[in-house]
């Protein structure tokens, strides 16, 4: 089984970045979902507040799922004590 990471730790700044096609695919799916979700909610809502609340809730849920995938499929941080 191939154990190569999908995401690697950024050299500058915080976070991780995609380093394989699987990581780029997951990132692209997340971005496409966010765009689709915003357009879908805007089409069925009557005001900005009707759009914002469900969008934020669904975005937070999707970001948590993305974070779990990144944590699971990224290179591990080695602590040198």
pLDDT, tens digit, for every residue of 29-72?
999 999 999 999 988 888 878 788 889 999 999 999 999 999 99
- Domain encompassing residue 57: 19-72
Q: In this structure, is residue 29 part of a structural domain?
A: yes
Compute the average pLDDT of residues 23-27: 96
Q: Is residue 8 included in any domain, yes or no?
A: no
Q: Quick one: DSSP state of residue 2? A: -
Does residue 6 lie in a domain region? no
> 């879908």: which residue's tokens?
40
pTM: 0.81
Q: Residue 3 domain-assigned?
A: no
Note whether residue 52 is domain-resident: yes
Q: What is the pLDDT of residue 2?
A: 60
Q: Does the residue 27 lie in any domain?
A: yes
pLDDT at 56: 93
Query: Which pLDDT does position 12 carry in this prediction?
Result: 87
- Say what the pLDDT of residue 78 is: 65
Task: Please state the domain count of the chain.
Answer: 1
Largest pairwise CA distance in the chain = 56
């Amino acid at each position: 089984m191939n154990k190569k990471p999908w995401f690697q730790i950024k050299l500058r700044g915080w976070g991780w970045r995609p380093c394989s096609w699987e990581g780029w695919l997951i990132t692209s799916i997340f971005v496409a979902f966010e765009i689709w979700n915003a357009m879908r909610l805007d089409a069925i809502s009557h005001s900005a507040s009707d759009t914002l609340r469900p969008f934020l809730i669904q975005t937070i849920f999707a970001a948590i799922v993305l974070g779990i995938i990144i944590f699971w499929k990224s290179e591990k941080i080695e602590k040198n004590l």
